[in-house]
Structures are given as structure tokens and as C-alpha cells.
Structure 1
């Protein structure tokens, strides 16, 4: 192939990133992180190999070269999660190059991420979740308090991600018995809603002083712009301080609690997977470890003779 090593590298990098953006439809933040990880690798290799990085250098990379790169990242204080993402980026690049016939390196494609401790969700107790959801209107009834309650109900009562709740528009209202949300990876799903959620949203809409126009964000900040996640997070921090709740009580913990409490009540794991919009059942299965005691209680209720010593 004609051209300098730098020309090949720029062309290959662009082809890979275009594929990730337009074919794989990666989120902009993930795309930027992958690009930065790949650039980090090639910058390291320039010094490690003592010359420009092109097709021949990439094709000749050994596992030891890639391990040296990861070791250098660890010395810089890069954590296990970031290194795992960087490995995923590198594997994606080499896999795509192999698919389009521009470069082949099986060793790079088979690079395994380092094992890291699995962080399990920290659900909120049912009592704490109810207190948190009702907290915004417990002491005041302004439109922002009604807004916060409606948002928190969508997280705890429907299992929405905070980004999904804040992406709703006035065109989605009034929220009926179900709402369609766009989840990760562009996967749309239909989520059933309790009546109390729709009522809370309507209470907020009636109190909100800003005019509704087609396509406008459903939930607004104080000045009329779309509500930002950090505003919801700050509200939760204030509430948990006032209610004496631990720091593990966060907006995302409410989503985990939705799943955990459903599972503890005997909910079907695959149904919960659909409600949460998880691409893989293995992600949902984390909740079986989180709420083991609740699962045992469900089992004991279903088989009461065991508690009485019966057979």
C-alpha cells in the first residue's frame, strides 16, 4: 500500500471511527473515548517501537507490546474500568481492519481485559425510596418540587434511566398507561406506568409557569431550559441530607431499587430485563445477588410448609 505510515494510520483511524459512528451508532461520548484510547496506544507505540506507527507496525504487534502499553497506563494511575474500555477500543479497531481487509493481527483481537471487582448495585430500601420520592413535596408545593417528584417517580416507579426521563417531551404527555423511551444503543422500549406517575406529571404540568410548545422538553429547569441531570442529582443530595439517608441513595440507585424490589416480590427476571432495557440478561442477573434475602423470603412465602418443618 502506497503512502507513509502516518497516512495509513490516519486513514485507518478515520475508517474505523466512521464505522463506529454511522454503523454501530456509538454515543458521542463513547466514540470520543475510543478515539482517545486508540491515540494513546499509537502515541505509546511510537516511543516503544522507536518509529512511526503504520500498517506493518500494527500487524506485527505482539501481546507483550500491548501489555507494556497497559502497564504504562497503570503507572499513570489509569483505573481498571478505563483500561477495560481501552482494550475494547483496540480490539474493535483491529477487528474492523480485519473485516475490511486492511490489516490483520489476531493477537490484538484476542487481547483480554483485566479482571476487576464487580460493583453490585446498591438498592434503596422501600421505605427510603418512598420517603425520597415524596420528599420534594413534603415541605413545599411549588412547581419545581412537583417536577422533582414526577422525575423521581419515573426512576423508581418505572425504572427509567435519568437520561430517559429527561428526554421525554411534551409530545409524550399526558403519560398514559405506558410510554416509549429510547434507551442505550438506540433501543426503544415500551414501559408501563402506574397511575400515580401520570398524575404526578400532570400536577407538575399544571403548575409549571412555562408555555408548552411542540417538541419542548417535558421537564424544565428554573429558567425554562431543559432540566439537566445534575439538577436532579443535587435535589437528591439535599433530600437525602434532610432525610438522613446514606450517600448511596442516588437517582440511579432508584432505578436499581425498582428492579430489586420487583425481583424481591417474585418478578420474572426476563420481564425485568425488558422493563430496564438491558441488552443482556447477565446485567439483570446482578440483582439476584443484590437481593438474595428478599428472594429467599419470596420462596418461603411460596413454600410455607418448609418453615413449619413439613415435607
Structure 2
């Protein structure tokens, strides 16, 4: 995906930065899982994120307090797709979970995301992973939220949670799911679509765009017996080399 993405500044000065055209690309393989876990098409994601952005502008025009929450939710959905995170993983993120990546200095403090509450195995604690940032437009959206929107929450200085509520708590996974359903239904989309479909879309579109499957699977923390061989010998150097290739492609600087 090329650089671009929705962007706005808090405080009523809104606008939309150039968004890369999300052209249709055939999936590499037919999806054989549950219908509600299918990847969303690029057109569906484009329409969904546009609708999420429009709710911010609508709240601002009407002078409603919901503008902060709408902006937060739009950024949450961009995070789910931009980093391929699960709903619970995303809700549990803290501001300090983003890190600089010396191999991607142009992404500033958002070059990597430490996912601390990954899916656990039976009897085991949550699995942690470091996911390298490869979608510059998503980085821009989160950076803008952290700098200009999150500080407007009353609890911003006392709560480390990345996604805050008006009551000062942490946004819950259930609330993300409910807002997703509201937007999905407003757009008349397939009612089987759930937030997890954004994660499937991240995986599918990265592979379609030429990312190495081993890199993508490591990024999102997949662990399937049939793909164990793909993970064998995948070192940190390999991960950063592949990240650099994907990032350069997204920035238009690579083949």
C-alpha cells in the first residue's frame, strides 16, 4: 500500500490527507474459514475508514462532545488494520507500547509496536510480540491521535491506556466490536464482518503486495503447525530487512 491516509487535527480543524487508492487485488487463495473471519476487500476497508472519519467531522459540525470518541474509534480501526492486531490486543495497548525502530527513522517514535496481550495458549500467559510498522499512513494517524487528541481526555495524565473513555477508563474490546457493528450496519455491509476481519485483511493484503509470508506471520503472531517451517531460522536481521523492503514499497521508494 502506498503512503497516504486519513489525517486531521483536533480542535475543529479537520481535513483529509491524500489516501492511497485501494485498488482491488485478487486474493492469493480462496478463504476456507468461517464467513465472519474473511478478509475485507480493499474497497470495503476504504469505505469503512472513510465512514469512521466522517463521524468525526459530523460530531464537530454539530458541536457534540462525541468528536473525541469518534476520532479515537477511527484511529482504533486504523490500528487494527495497520498493524494486524486483534481486538483485545488493541484495547490493552498503552501509549508506551510504541517504540522507535532504528531501521525506520522516518516513522519516529512509532516504528514498532509491542503487543503485550497476544492470544494465549491453554494454561499459558498472554504471548508477547514486537510488530514492526509497515503502513506509514497508519503511523501518521496514531501519531496525530497521541499528540493532538488523547491529551484532551481528562485522564490522559493519570492513565497509561492508549484508548481512553470520557469516564477516564480504558476502552474495552466489546466497545470496539459494538462501534464496528454500528459503522458496518450503517454502510449496509455483510453482517458477518467483525473487527477481526481487519486483521485478516492486513495479512492478506501484505502478502498480496509482495511481503514474505514468514515476515507477515511473525508480525501478527500466528502459530500454525503447517507453517512452522516458515518460522525456522527467521532472525531479527531478516525481520528488519523484510520490514525495510515493505516500508520502502509503501513509501514509493522501492520496486
- Give TM class, smaller chain: 0.5 to 0.7
1:213 to 151, 157, 177: 157
Q: Any stretches of 5+ residues in structure 2 without a counterpart?
A: 1-31, 58-66, 100-108, 121-125, 229-255
Q: Any stretches of 5+ residues in structure 1 without a counterpart?
A: 1-116, 285-311
Equivalent-residue separation in structure 2 for 1:259 and 1:281 (angstroms): 18
SS of the aligned residue for 1:216 comes to: coil
Taking the TM superposition and a 5 Å limit, the aligned residue runs for 1:127-146 are: 127-141=43-57, 142-146=67-71
Asked if 1:198 corresponds to 2:139, the answer is yes
SS of the aligned residue for 1:140 comes to: helix
2:216 to 272, 295, 301: 272
Question: Corresponding residue for 1:297?
Answer: none
Higher helix share: 1
Q: What's the TM-score once normalised by structure 2's chain length?
A: 0.59
Taking the TM superposition and a 5 Å limit, the aligned residue runs for 1:41-52 are: none
Task: Summarize deviations over 1:134-185 as a string: whole Å, max 9, x none.
Answer: 3222142411111111111111111011111111112235851111112223
Equivalent-residue separation in structure 1 for 2:34 and 2:226 (angstroms): 14
The structure whose Rg is larger is 1
Asked if 1:147 corresponds to 2:72, the answer is yes
SS of the aligned residue for 1:204 comes to: helix
SS of the aligned residue for 2:53 comes to: helix
Q: Which moved more, 1:171-180 or 1:240-249?
A: 171-180
Q: Which moved more, 1:137-146 or 1:159-168?
A: 137-146
1:238 to 177, 182, 198: 182
Task: Summarize deviations over 1:258-280 as a string: whole Å, max 9, x none.
Answer: 11112223332211110110122
CA contact (8 A) 1:177 1:192 kept: yes
CA contact (8 A) 2:72 2:163 kept: yes
Taking the TM superposition and a 5 Å limit, the aligned residue runs for 1:46-85 are: none
Report the count of equivalent residues: 169
Asked if 1:178 corresponds to 2:93, the answer is no
Asked if 1:119 corresponds to 2:53, the answer is no
Task: Summarize deviations over 1:243-262 as a string: whole Å, max 9, x none.
Answer: 22111221101101111112
Please, what is the CA RMSD of the aligned residues? 2.6
Q: What's the TM-score once normalised by structure 1's chain length?
A: 0.49
